[in-house]
Chain A
């Protein structure tokens, strides 16, 4: 095993060791020197320790157990005296350690301003836990503290000492606080906030001397001011700690010179962290240190890695002060500013723009969008199109997004969640409280969502509403990219909030696009017209071409025209009219369809209104062969002619078609009525298929004979024709009110369960009547012949656009 010696147990070398042990445990035998008598802790969190908001134990990154588990030989509290490159050994106070590879991670040393009195007891720096403890100790006696330096560290020290009860003055050489991170305006707000908490701030204050006999007593400023001080904290800056490297003859600039693999001028010696100098750049914040650590770990393991310095951002850890700064915000000839100020709330935001990209940002008081802005800076994103609203951040477009969770949280315990198995919210919550923490466990214990699964989303919302962030749900499938809502959410939202127009839904549902898209608009249009037939106006723009043109477009761009033949019954007059129309408009193909009607194929778009007018004149209406709605009701001849017929199946078929035509449904709906169980009308594979028997009518639903093949399931058996019609209408209306757009009835029933449908359509007479009444209301609006309407009002739209006029101009 190769021998790796690391000098310094700070955050950079700590992260490097983590990477090393994670990637290749056992690759190196590691010896770790640290001058401090302890291992790696999160130095960034020293300020909350100083203020008493955190304890030291809480900021330890690597404890003894971690070092033991990774077989690190710890030489803590032992300073390294020199590196002998010729013999490849590191010399510590208690003996030598040989290395194959060496990592120098000595960090930085605080800069001590060269004024008289700087060595007096009571003058301390702020770098490590010992400094922190010294400040805590000193603050216990009360009195006054002077912090020299109004940068990040100095201000954190000042706030901590103030919380500990000291009178604190901050001296800062520059004109405003944190001048490297903040501009003047933000610096002013920060100063105001600090003064509000009882910290005195003096800018342009140059220290001449620190006064005192046996220990510090006061600080003397250049202008002659004397500030009494029991404690002086120097936080004016840091410089890389390079003594060992210099003594060993390594190349040292401002820090230890390294290449992009963290290698020093000696190929077996590396350096990482605040002690390095990379192309003239020094590092004091943690993010690039972690990047360096990763590169170094890979280099040590022989992998390719390159260190590239990235943009940095800064935040201050003083409870109650929110500031953010990133990038470059100096004035410049090609630079423009966008500034937002809210003096009442103490909010200041400034973006610096150059060449249509944000190159710097300073925020004070409201830093909620800082990560987004930082991303824009880092990516050099082009913001020219966003510029008007850029300062308001990523969320400027909409109001607060809708929260479907609010409705779920408001449900009472007795509210039914799973209709199939009759499971209410209280039962599910009880199961969760009993330890069920995911969907599978709730399903196993309560049967909720164990049948059709339609309520899965709702059960998950109950889980989330009960457990909060300890529940992680599966990704749900939203309607489309315009929204986060699922079809089920959307239908619930439209009903619960009485949303009656598309803009209302877009607003309430936090649509991300201004006008929706080709996926969500047809679905939304259907949901709205199904739920609010009287209030909502059907939107032609949201329909597919076939529904817009009321005809099926064919592959050559012509259309097919199919008049309705009620129950498959026609007359010589109708047949003559069809034949005449076929002649008149030179219809190339006339076809008898499987749905018992006649299709005229190959009609040109501009001829559509005229052919419709002719067919209308013969008493025929649109067969809706193109719509998500009722298509045909196929029948056999029944008792009128057939020897086996048990009921008037044709008559029932006609009545059903006359009742249901014109209605919009989530997907197409096909019916059939067979006069006896021989089933000549093939009713057992329809969306609704009725089989007549001697004792009445067997009503089957949810059949399929397309991509899927499925026999109908028995909804019920009734004695009279009226009941058969009532059940059929109620079923269709229930489907209209609840199904997901483009789910055929068989798919929908599979989700909600036939029992759920039966309860509402068969068992609950009041609900059945409500469904029938609601359907009647909808039909009062939508049961009209679209052909007649389009011939009357829209025939212009079917004419081709004459382009010759434009060409002449």
Chain B
């Protein structure tokens, strides 16, 4: 089995964990904590009521929530997070219609070098505005993003909004004009993954993950299309787009890779409709250390699975 490229580079996301509702509370289901054993232990013990802590807030408010400072906030594991050097977190609720399936939480560590962006875009008055985001050291890009808005169909967030599908964009900063390309290029951002975050009600949310080469948010991205309009009622999914630092392009228009329900990590997500975090099994994670796979439930079905590997 091949091993990860340049493993010495620290990734942008340090921790990913899945919380699932059980008897009215969110309980810990899985997590990838790297070497942060203390925080892992503190998390395994934790659970959240609706509205409580970061996962509970994402559930109660039915929206992705970004938290950039733990001290004095509603974040329950602040002490353990501080010890682990974690400084920011994003909680992404996974709804199937009105039902909360799970909350995916990712946590990042702050330092002067780490570049990347996790952005939450929300629709206001017919435009997508940056609701919140975590940008690490990409301060200028953060400022540009705060002052950019997207009409439907435009740019990565607007494209995701219009097409109601996840989208992957390459070479953000070079060659051509990603709407925020100039600043993205300066920040070293290379790859962007945008995905719709369906929530109950009429609000539109789009999440974007922007990855930089030096401190990659992920080294491999995949978009799997599971809509019955595409694959029939098979419960399977087709790999419609993807990019990998090692394997290059991951799409094959003539002969797309297929994941069957319950087969492999993507199959597991297709089968149970829950996010999946896997670590320590390179055989299952394309040779990388960890995998985060996130289902998108839309129009009464599991429509897409997006996966990133670091």
Task: Tell me which of B56-64, B69-77, B96-104, B174-182 binds A.
Answer: B174-182
Q: Does A405 contact B (CB under 8 A)?
A: yes
B163 at the A interface (CB under 8 A): yes
Evaluate contact between B249 and A467: CB separation under 8 angstroms. Answer: no
A520 in the interface (beta carbon within 8 A): no
Given A54-B170, A165-B179, A409-B262, the answer on whether A367 and B153 have CB atoms closer than 8 Å is: no
Q: State the CA gap A659–B164 with chains docked (Å).
A: 67
Chain A 339-365 per-residue mask, 1 if CB under 8 angstroms from chain B, else 0: 000000101000000000000000001
- Any B CB within 8 A of the CB of A322: yes
Which one, A379-387, A430-438, A745-753, is touching chain B?
Answer: A430-438
Distance in angstroms from B180 CB to nearest chain A CB is 10
Chain A 35-71 per-residue mask, 1 if CB under 8 angstroms from chain B, else 0:
0000000001100000111111010000000000000
Q: Does B42 contact A (CB under 8 A)?
A: no
Q: Do B264 and A464 touch across chains, with their CB atoms under 8 A apart?
A: yes
Instruction: Say if the beta carbon of B29 comes within 8 Å of chain A.
Output: no
Given A58-B248, A198-B154, A433-B281, residue A136 in contact with residue B177 (CB < 8 A)? yes
Interface: A162 (CB within 8 A): yes
Chain A residues closer than 8 Å to B235, beta-carbon distance: 400, 403
With beta carbons under 8 angstroms apart, the residue of B171, B234, B259, B266 that contacts A55 is B171
Given contacts A55-B171, A319-B165, A320-B164, contact A139 B177 (CB under 8 A): yes
- B152 → A minimal CB distance (Å): 5
Known pairs A405-B262, A465-B264; A320 contacts B283 (CB<8 A): no
A469 in contact with B253 given A196-B162, A368-B228, A368-B229 (CB within 8 Å): no
Taking CB atoms, residues of chain A closer than 8 Å to B251 are 54
Which residues of B257-277 have CB atoms within 8 Å of chain A's CB atoms? 257-268, 271
- In the complex, what residue of chain B is closest to A160 when comparing beta carbons? B159
Q: Which chain A positions have C-beta within 8 A of B263?
A: 405, 464-465, 467-469, 471
> Which of chain A's residues has its CB closest to B267's CB?
A468
Given contacts A45-B253, A322-B230, contact A469 B259 (CB under 8 A): yes
For window 235-261 of B, CB contacts with A under 8 Å fall at 235, 241, 243, 248-249, 251, 253, 257-261
Q: Is the CB of B249 within 8 A of A369?
A: no
| Residue-wise interface mask of B (85-105) relative to A, using a CB-CB cutoff of 8 A (1 in contact, 0 not) | 000000000000000000000
Interface contact A51-B159, CB-CB below 8 Å: yes
Interchain CB contact under 8 A, A319 and B159: yes
A199 at the interface (CB under 8 A from B): yes
The chain B residue sitting closest to A59, CB to CB, is B249
Residues of A within 8 A of B231 (CB): 368
Q: Contacts A52-B170, A468-B267 given: A406-B262 contact, CB under 8 Å?
A: yes
Provide the residues of chain B in CB contact with A365, threshold 8 Å. Answer: 229
Residue interface bits A307-325, CB-to-B below 8 A is 1, else 0: 0000000000011111000
Interface residues of A in 402-425 (CB under 8 A from B): 403, 405-406, 408-409
Q: Known contacts A468-B263, A469-B260; is A163 also within 8 Å of B155 by CB?
A: yes
B238 to chain A, nearest CB (A): 11
Given contacts A53-B168, A433-B284, A469-B263, contact A368 B230 (CB under 8 A): yes
Quick one: which of B154, B249, B266 contacts A163, CB cutoff 8 A? B154
A503 interface residue, CB < 8 Å from B?
no
CB contacts (< 8 Å) of A87 on chain B: these are none
B137 at the interface (CB under 8 A from A): no
Q: Please indicate the chain B residues that have their CB under 8 angstroms from the CB of A393 in the complex.
A: 232
Chain B residues lying within 8 Å of A643, measured Cβ to Cβ, are none
Query: What residues of chain A lie closer than 8 Å to B261, measured between beta carbons?
Result: 403, 405-406
Contacts of A52 in B (CB 8 A): 156, 169-171, 176, 178
Pick the contact of A345: B152, B163, B284, B299 (CB < 8 A): B299
| A199 near B264: Cβ-Cβ < 8 Å | no
Closest CB-CB distance, A144 to chain B, in whole Å?
A: 13
Out of A58, A163, A464, name the residue touching B159 (CB < 8 Å).
A163
**Measured between C-beta atoms, what is the minimum distance from A133 to chain B in Å?**
8
Bound-state CA distance A395–B234 (Å) is 10
Let me know if B292 is at the binding interface, CB within 8 A: no
> A426-446: which have CB < 8 Å to B?
432-435, 437
Contact indicator A405/B260 (Cβ below 8 Å): yes
State in angstroms the CA–CA spacing of A75 and B13 once bound together: 48
A507 at the interface (CB under 8 A from B): no
Task: Provide the bound-state CA to CA distance between A56 and B170, in Å.
Answer: 10
Q: Which of A53, A56, A367 is the one whose CB lies under 8 Å from B229?
A: A367
- Chain A 124-154 interface residues, beta-carbon cutoff 8 Å to B: 133, 136-137, 139-140
What chain B residues lie within 8 Å of A435 (beta carbons)?
Answer: 1, 283
CA–CA, A159 and B159, complex, Å: 9
Decide if B45 is an interface residue (CB 8 Å cutoff). no
Does the CB pair A469–B258 fall under 8 Å?
A: yes
Interface: B233 (CB within 8 A): yes
* Residue among B153, B165, B170 having the largest count of chain A Cβ atoms under 10 Å: B153
Cβ of A591: which chain B residues have Cβ within 8 Å of it? none
> Cα distance A44–B162 when bound, in Å?
23
- Are B176 and A140 in contact, with the CB atoms below 8 A? yes
Q: Is the CB of B264 within 8 A of A136?
A: no
Q: What CA separation (Å) do A466 and B266 show in the bound complex?
A: 10
Which B residues are in CB contact (< 8 Å) with A347? 229
Residues of B within 8 A of A179 (CB): none
Report if B214 contacts A (CB, 8 A).
no
Taking a contact as CB atoms under 8 Å apart, the answer to whether A405 and B177 are in contact is no
A378 to B152, CA, bound (A): 39
Cα(A436)–Cα(B260), bound, Å: 20
- Distance of A421 Cα from B155 Cα, bound (Å): 58
Closest residue on chain B to residue A168 by CB atoms: B153
Task: Specify the chain A residue showing the minimal Cβ separation from B257.
Answer: A469
A319 adjacent to B163 (CB under 8 Å): yes
A140-B163 contact in complex given A44-B253, A469-B259, C-beta closer than 8 Å? no
Task: Report whether A369 and B164 are in contact in the complex, using a CB–CB cutoff of 8 Å.
Answer: no
> Assuming A198-B153, A368-B228, A403-B262, is B170 touching A58 (CB within 8 A)?
yes
Chain B nearest CB: distance from A14 CB in Å?
Answer: 14
**Contact status of A367 and B248, CB under 8 A, knowing A139-B177, A198-B162:** no
Chain B contacts of A467 at CB under 8 A? 263-264, 283-284
Shortest beta-carbon distance from B16 to chain A in Å: 19
B151 at interface, CB cutoff 8 A: yes
Complex alpha-carbon distance, A408 and B263, angstroms:
10
Contact B177 A140 (CB under 8 A): yes
B267 touches A198 (CB 8 A): no
Inter-chain CA distance A433–B171, complex, in Å, is 33
Q: Which chain B positions have C-beta within 8 A of A54? A: 170, 241, 249, 251
Q: How far is the CA of A322 from the CA of B263 in the complex (A)?
A: 27
Q: Is A470 an interface residue (CB 8 A)?
A: yes
The reply to whether A395 and B163 form a contact with Cβ atoms under 8 Å apart is: no
Interface flag for A488 (CB, 8 Å): no
* A-side contacts of B228, CB under 8 Å: 366, 368
- Does A537 make an interface contact (CB < 8 A)? no
A-chain residues with CB within 8 Å of residue B81 when the two chains form the complex = none
In the complex, which of the residues A164, A434, A468, A470 has the most CB atoms of chain B within 10 Å of its own CB atom? Answer: A468
Residue B206 at the chain A interface, CB threshold 8 Å: no
Tell me how far the C-beta of A41 lies from the nearest C-beta in chain B, rounded to whole angstroms. 13
- A466 near B151 (CB under 8 angstroms)? no
**Known contacts A322-B230, A368-B231, A405-B263; A434/B283 CB under 8 A:** yes
By a CB distance below 8 angstroms, the chain A residues around B271 are: 403, 405-406, 409
A148-186 interface with B by 8 A CB criterion: 159, 162-165
Given contact pairs A55-B170, A368-B232, enumerate 8 new A-B contacts (beta carbons under 8 Å): A58-B243, A137-B176, A163-B156, A199-B153, A320-B165, A368-B229, A405-B267, A465-B262
18 contacts between A and B (CB under 8 A): A52-B178, A54-B249, A54-B251, A56-B175, A137-B176, A165-B179, A198-B152, A319-B167, A368-B230, A400-B235, A403-B271, A405-B267, A409-B267, A433-B281, A464-B260, A467-B263, A468-B265, A468-B266
Which residues does B use to contact A, with CB under 8 Å? Answer: 1, 151-156, 158-159, 162-165, 167-171, 175-179, 181, 228-235, 241, 243, 248-249, 251, 253, 257-268, 271, 280-284, 299
6 shortest interchain CB distances as A-B pairs: A468-B264, A320-B163, A197-B162, A198-B153, A197-B153, A140-B177
